[in-house]
Each structure stands twice: as structure tokens, then as C-alpha cells.
Amino acid sequence: MPIATVNPATGETLETFEPIAPAEIERRLAAAHAAYGRYRTTGFGERARLLGRAADLLEEDSESVARTMTTEMGKPVKAARAEAAKCVKAMRWYAEHAEELLADEHPAQADVEDSGASRAVVHYRPLGVVLAVMPWNFPLWQVVRFVAPALMAGNVGLLKHASNVPRTALYLEDLFRRAGFPEGCFQTLLVGSDAVETILRDDRVAAATLTGSEPAGRSVASVAGDEIKKTVLELGGSDPYVVLASADVERAARTAVTARVQNNGQSCIAAKRFIVHTDVYDAFRERFVAGMRELTVGDPLSEETDVGPLSSEQGRDDLEELVDDALGLGATALCGGQRPKEQERGWYYSPTVLADITPRMRIHREETFGPVATLYRVADLDEAVALANDTPFGLSSNVWTRDDADVARCVRDLQAGGVFFNGMTASHPGLPFGGIKRSGYGRELSGHGIREFCNATTVWYGPAE
């Protein structure tokens, strides 16, 4: 895939970039390694000052960077502004809380004495150069949620961003440079996927994090495993949205629309499979389908647009194949199910709700990356939980209920990295984020995330003579 900015609303190629040469990769690896040697000794106060400055600059740049993201990958510009604001919030959160999150830990005195020590302490120390392989769907947020905690922990970062968001990738490098971070602390590598293995195998790279597809995760994990290097993976999701008999159906249906089409439906944590108790199924279906039909599809730079184009022609084609396969095997399109006739250019797809889904259909097992929802009717909670778990993924889940027994059962039995009750899945810097099964492993955000790329060092002091 060429490294290029292609406007998905028109299909027009706006700018192409040459991948950096091997000699430049080597120079940047050397710069990162040298930067880590110096930066790891800085204090939390200095790191917080630099990250706070980056947050201030991003806040000032929010309108221009929002338009860059929209032009590169098609999200509505109002959503792009919200993404920039979320990044500012996360930077400031880590600048404020990192020192506390990485404070020395003191084991129980009884355990210290039993070990034969006079005292013992656990320090959190940075690992070194971390390679981040990041996707296009949240081109700012995915990077910031890695790099803010990484830099606050004393690590340095190398970014291999998706090839269709090079302008955003270069903006990020410039942002941290303008904020005053030492040279080499954060660098963008304009390279293709074929360069990742060589970079990851380099001894100067200590660890890697990847957000993206399952095949990309397998590739990075296998290389890192061969080199015995730490990885964090956040991969796909096919999140269930469970609506039980006691739910507030009006709120559940209204929120469901946003939960499905956020980011034009191209979000790992977007709700994708809507599993509804038979007692409220008809009422939910009516409201949900009506809400999906009312969405405005169009130019993502328009303030009136709810759903813009998919990020690429291939992405639109892949989604179309899943829908056509389901329709051919007996699914019913309650709305959508085709490209919108109003958009003659660009990679648009109509907001769609499919019912009568069966396990024979690919869409029952595969992730839908676009504004397409699958709707299921279930008889009881047992069937709802079984269907929710009937997926190779386990990123997050949503449950609507006002019954405490339902809550307890879902917390216990849903196979996911998160369970969100009476609301849609969202990420916050103070809450751990990640999945299980084929959605990956490890955690981002919160104290769990900042410690992923730290060496928990046990320091033991023998008894005094």
C-alpha cells in the first residue's frame, strides 16, 4: 500500500510520500536509543511539563488537525474535534497522575522480614524504545493513548502509523518536537508494513504495541515472541449490545444508534451485534431502525453529517461482501443494505440493520467495520449471554437492564475486557482498556497501561550487620 493521503469522500489522492530509506531508519533508531539514555533519568516534573506543553499545543491546533484527520480517513469533522479534545484530556491526566501511578511499592513488613531483608521496595523503571504500530481509524487518539503514558514512564517512542494517515503521523512528530521533548524521544517512521519486522528485531527496540487487525497482531506478536520482547495488542472486536426485558428501551435504542455508527462504524469498540430480549424486541427494533434511517450521510467536513465515507475503497468492498453474503443466505435488511445513491463519489455505505442472522453467515462471526448492525431476538438471559460470547473476539460489551441479578450474571459471565451497563462503551484515561480472546492482550490507559512498559524492579536490602 502506498503511503498517501487519499480523501475517502472523493477518492482523490492529495499527496504521496516516499518511504524513508534504510539509512534514515538506522539514523532514527540510533537517535531513539541515544534519547532514551538521557530521557530516562529525567524527573516526573520535567516530563509532566513537556507533556502539558504538548497538550496545550494540540488544543491550539485542534481545528486544523481535526480537518487533517477528516480529510485522511473520513470521520465527521465534529467527531475529529472530539478526538483531539480527548487526546488533550489524556495528556493532562497522565501529566498529573503518572508519578502517583508509578510510585515505589513497599511490600508488607511481614513478607520483608520473612525474606530475610531489612527492607524491600519495588521500583517501576522504563523499558526503553517502544515501537508503536497504529491504525487509521482514530489516528490521533490511538497514538496518544500509547505515547502519553510511555513518555511519562521515561520510555521513548517510534511510530509506524497506517499508510493512509501520513499527514497526521507527521503532525504528531512535530507536536512533540514543538513541545520541547529532546530529539529522538518521539519519531514517526514513514515506512510500509514490510519494514516492521526489521525494526522490531533491532536490539535497540525493547517492546512493541499494536492496535489493528488480527493478522497484523499475529505478525507482530510472532516476531516479538521470537525476540522475547514485550507486546501489547488491541485487535478487533464484535461487541455485543444486550437489551434485556427491564431495560429503558427508548434510551437503549437511541444510544444504540450512536454506539453502532460512531466513527462511521469503524471502531473496534463500536457495538456491532444487538441482542434483544423478546419482550422488548419489537419496540427496540422500531426505534433503532428509525434512528439509523434518520442519520445524515454525506460530506464529513459538513457540520450536519452524522456518517461519512469508509476510509478506503477496499474497506467499503469488504463490508459490502459481508452484507451481500448475509442477504444471499436469508438475512433481512430492515434499512440500508446498499451504497447510498446520493453519493456518486467516495466510499460511502448506508447505515444498515440486518435481521434474521444465522451462524451460516460470515457476518455472524466476522467483524463488521462500518455502519452495519446485526439484530438478534433472544428468549432469556441465558440465551443472551451465550450469543454474546459466541464470537472469537472479547473486547468490550454493553448491557441494558435495571435488574441487579442481571448485572451480577453479566459481570460474571460475559467474556470481554469490559462490561458497560446502561451506556455505550467508551475509553477514559483513568480506566484500563483492552480485550481477551482474539481481541488481544495487555491493557492501555490507567495505571495498568502505564505499567505495561515498565520493569517492576524488586530491590532487596539484607539485614544490617
Tell me the pLDDT of the chain (465 aa) as tens digits.
799 999 999 999 999 999 999 999 999 999 999 999 999 999 999 999 999 999 999 999 999 999 999 999 999 999 999 999 999 999 999 999 999 999 999 999 999 999 999 999 999 999 999 999 999 999 999 999 999 999 999 999 999 999 999 999 999 999 999 999 999 999 999 999 999 999 999 999 999 999 999 999 999 999 999 999 999 999 999 999 999 999 999 999 999 999 999 999 999 999 999 999 999 999 999 999 999 999 999 999 999 999 999 999 999 999 999 999 999 999 999 999 999 988 889 999 999 999 999 999 999 999 999 999 999 999 999 999 999 999 999 999 999 999 999 999 999 999 999 999 999 999 999 999 999 999 999 999 999 999 999 999 999 999 977
Indicate the pairing of strand 239-243 with strand 271-277.
parallel
**Chain length of the chain:** 465
DSSP label at 245?
A: T
CA diameter of the chain: 84
d(Cα 387, Cα 372) in Å, to the nearest integer?
Answer: 18
d(Cα 145, Cα 442) in Å, to the nearest integer?
Answer: 14
CA angle 372, 374, 378 (to 5 degrees): 165
Minimal CA–CA distance to 445: which of 435, 436, 455, 437? Answer: 435
d(Cα 420, Cα 191) in Å, to the nearest integer?
Answer: 37
Minimal CA–CA distance to 234: which of 416, 422, 83, 2? Answer: 416
400, 244 contact by CB (below 8 A): yes
Contacts of 204 (CB under 8 A, 6+ apart): 29, 30, 32, 33, 128, 129
According to DSSP, the residues that pair with 394 across neighbouring strands are 436
373, 363 contact by CB (below 8 A): no
pLDDT computed for residue 264 by the predictor: 98
d(Cα 102, Cα 284) in Å, to the nearest integer?
Answer: 46
d(Cα 152, Cα 102) in Å, to the nearest integer?
Answer: 10
CA angle 463, 464, 465 (to 5 degrees): 115
pLDDT computed for residue 231 by the predictor: 98
Taking residue 52's Cβ as centre, other Cβ atoms within 10 Å add up to: 16
116, 123 contact by CB (below 8 A): no
237, 336 contact by CB (below 8 A): no
400, containing H or E segment: strand 398-400
pLDDT computed for residue 260 by the predictor: 98
d(Cα 157, Cα 150) in Å, to the nearest integer?
Answer: 7
Is 268 catalytic? The answer is yes
249, 284 contact by CB (below 8 A): yes
Nine-digit cell string for 112: 520483608
Nine-digit cell string for 374: 446485526
Nine-digit cell string for 96: 498529573
Query: Active-site residue among 83, 234, 366, 367?
Result: 234
Is 12 catalytic? The answer is no
Nine-digit cell string for 384: 443472551
Phi/psi at 308 (5° precision)? -95, -165
Query: Active-site residue among 268, 335, 410, 454?
Result: 268
372: three-class secondary structure by DSSP: strand
Phi/psi at 391 (5° precision)? -155, 150
Nine-digit cell string for 14: 492529495
